[in-house]
Amino acid sequence: MRGIALFGKIRFLDTTLRDGEQAPGVSLGTEEKLAIARGLDSLGVDVIEAGSAMTSEGERLSIKAVADSDLGAEICSYVRALCSDIDVALGCDVDSVHLVVPVSDLHIRCKLKSDRESVISQAVAVTEYAKDHGLVVELSGEDASRADQDYLASLYQAGIEAGADRLAFCDTVGVLVPETATEMFSRLSRLGKPISIHCHNDFGMATANTVAALRAGAAQAHVTVNGIGERAGNASLEEVVMTLESLYGIDTGIKCQDIYQLSRLVSRLTGLPMSPNKAIVGENAFTHEAGIHVHGLLKDTATYEPMHPETVGRKRRIVLGKHAGRASVELALREFGLTVSESQLAQIVFRVKELGDKGKRVSDADLQTIADTVLSIQMEPKVRLEEVTVVAGNTVTPTASVKIQLNGSERLEAGVGVGPVDAAINAIRRAISGVADVRLEEYHVDAITGGTNAIVEVWVTMAMADRKITARGADADIIMASVEAVLEGINRLMRLEEEDKAKCRRA
């Protein structure tokens, strides 16, 4: 790749905490920014743009907290071409500034109400001021993809002469196409300073444009986790990294196996759920249902997967429905430690498809029930609920007490939570602590019928060690439906763990 030949290792500037936070409805507090910054640093990004120092006092406190947290990454603040912005950034103890200057005639005329010469003069003055105060400067052309490219080059050249350390090209409204990105960066890379590519995803081209720019000479990619950002978002860190790693064989220096964990953290803290079909980190990215696909996977996972899910910290999932085939059902049964005859397998497949044809999601809990029915297996639960009591109200901390039978012994425990369901689940987890370390990873509620007396269906994803299962409960009382689902998940996880131990002993 040309970029590597010119400037060495490809660098990553992550702007999740600045451009990503500008996604509608997102507002991160100091502790949340710190958690994400630590994750980014551990992942191996080179620069963390921690925010815009001029935004507010709270933003400044957050940026300073990140800057003072002894991370290995360079900590950066977004600034405008104003010396006052540099002063505010200096107060946050950042290492560098992302100095953003509008460069298209549209922005210069309508946004700044200025002219080209004045913009260059101001950019030079602020660059010199920042350098005089010991900051690394990345001079960035806003709306560069719609600017006069000769003018853009002249602004960059003036910035270089003023001491700018890096340059950046911003495709602010996502109008680049890969061919144009290649052409522009082939030219700009001759300026002799590392140049970054900063893409927005308005036409779904951010990843493609970023990779094209890197191939043509860009030295650094601006990215966000999960591609979050204003409007349609920014170039996605996970997509750019894995495209380089998997499709071009480039060692990015990113700890790819930690990508999914960081993706989930960012989704949870920002409150932005990921689309199931999001590349790399979406829930369906390594999930298979179609029987012909699963049949191929059993022979060689490369048949229907471009990379191993473990590469990015994922696990392969097989889901069942009307598209399921014998191979997928057999594989799922194998996960339960069940061996069935050909006739039994045929019966189970028939029942799975029957449920799928009714538009029903066939969870592994459903499959277990179907298999138990066909095989006439009656399993005694490890954990049995005897009593649950919940107290909640507008002046009371939600509190729950549970009495359970655990392997034949009675246990009584209490828990508190942010709501009555959370309190009940916490009480159950405390009651089984020391026997099973079970985590609740996902919780989802569907109303099956309408009205205030609706039957609700609760779906949970439970995990123990590296094994995950889904379970379901249904009741007119959401607390009881939730408890039923959680206990079903706990019982099945404990049963599977017991079977694993038995296999180890036999081996």
- Residue 119 sits in a domain whose CATH number is 3.20.20.70
Same domain, 35 and 111: yes
Residue 147 phi/psi, 5-degree rounding, is: -90, 160
User: Which of the given ranges, 248-262, 284-298, 316-330, has the highest pLDDT on average?
Assistant: 248-262
pLDDT score for 8: 65
Tell me the pLDDT band of 488, cut-offs 50, 70 and 90: confident
Report helix, strand or coil for 153.
Answer: helix
User: CA 35, 36, 38 angle in degrees (round to 5)?
Assistant: 65
Residue 297 has pLDDT above 50, yes or no: yes
Tell me the pLDDT band of 362, cut-offs 50, 70 and 90: confident
**Percent of the chain residues past pLDDT 70, beyond the cut:** 90
The answer to whether residue 305 is domain-embedded is yes
Cβ pair 295, 325 in contact under 8 A: yes
Residues 6+ apart with CB under 8 A from 31: none
pLDDT score for 326: 80
Query: What is the rounded CA–CA span in Å between residue 165 and residue 139?
Result: 8
Strand residues in 289-371 grouped as ranges (E): 317-318
Same domain, 390 and 462: yes
Same domain, 207 and 331: no
Domain boundary among 341, 375, 409: 375
Query: What is the rounded CA–CA span in Å between residue 29 and residue 34?
Result: 9
How many domains are contained in the chain? Answer: 3
Tell me the pLDDT band of 434, cut-offs 50, 70 and 90: confident
Same domain, 328 and 420: no
Domain boundary among 241, 270, 299: 270
Residue 452 has pLDDT above 90, yes or no: no
Same domain, 357 and 419: no
Q: Do you know the residue count of the chain?
A: 507
> Does residue 103 or residue 484 have the better pLDDT?
103
pLDDT score for 5: 36
pTM beyond 0.85: the answer is: no
pLDDT score for 193: 95
Of 17-26, 210-219, 359-368, 431-440, least confident by mean pLDDT is 359-368
Same domain, 124 and 155: yes
Same domain, 431 and 356: no
Token pair for 49 = 């743009």
Neighbours of 121 (CB within 10 A): 14
User: Which of the given ranges, 153-167, 299-313, 422-436, has the highest pLDDT on average?
Assistant: 153-167
pLDDT score for 137: 98
Same domain, 323 and 206: no
Instruction: Give the pLDDT confidence of 16-65 residue by residue, as tens digits.
Output: 999 999 999 999 999 999 999 999 999 999 999 999 999 999 999 999 99
Token pair for 94 = 């950042």
Amino acid at 360: K
Neighbours of 499 (CB within 10 A): 13
Cβ pair 316, 300 in contact under 8 A: no
Is 146 exposed, middle or buried (CB count within 10 Å of its CB: 0-12, 13-18, 19+)?
middle
**Percent of the chain residues past pLDDT 90, beyond the cut:** 63
The answer to whether residue 60 is domain-embedded is yes
Tell me the pLDDT band of 3, cut-offs 50, 70 and 90: very low
Report helix, strand or coil for 501.
Answer: helix
Same domain, 293 and 257: no
Query: What is the rounded CA–CA span in Å between residue 314 and residue 274?
Result: 15
Neighbours of 70 (CB within 10 A): 6
pLDDT score for 444: 84
Strand residues in 297-395 grouped as ranges (E): 317-318, 383-393
What residue spans of 100-205 are helical by DSSP H? 105-106, 116-132, 149-162, 178-188
- What's the average model confidence in pLDDT over 91-104? 98
Which residues form the domain of 345? Answer: 287-375
Residue 4 has pLDDT above 70, yes or no: no
Q: How high does pLDDT run on average in the chain?
A: 89
- What's the average model confidence in pLDDT over 324-333? 78
Tell me the pLDDT band of 1, cut-offs 50, 70 and 90: very low
Torsion of CA 251, 36, 423, 392, to 10 degrees: -150
Same domain, 367 and 475: no
Domain boundary among 207, 238, 270: 270
Residue 50 phi/psi, 5-degree rounding, is: -80, -10
> Does residue 251 or residue 447 have the better pLDDT?
251
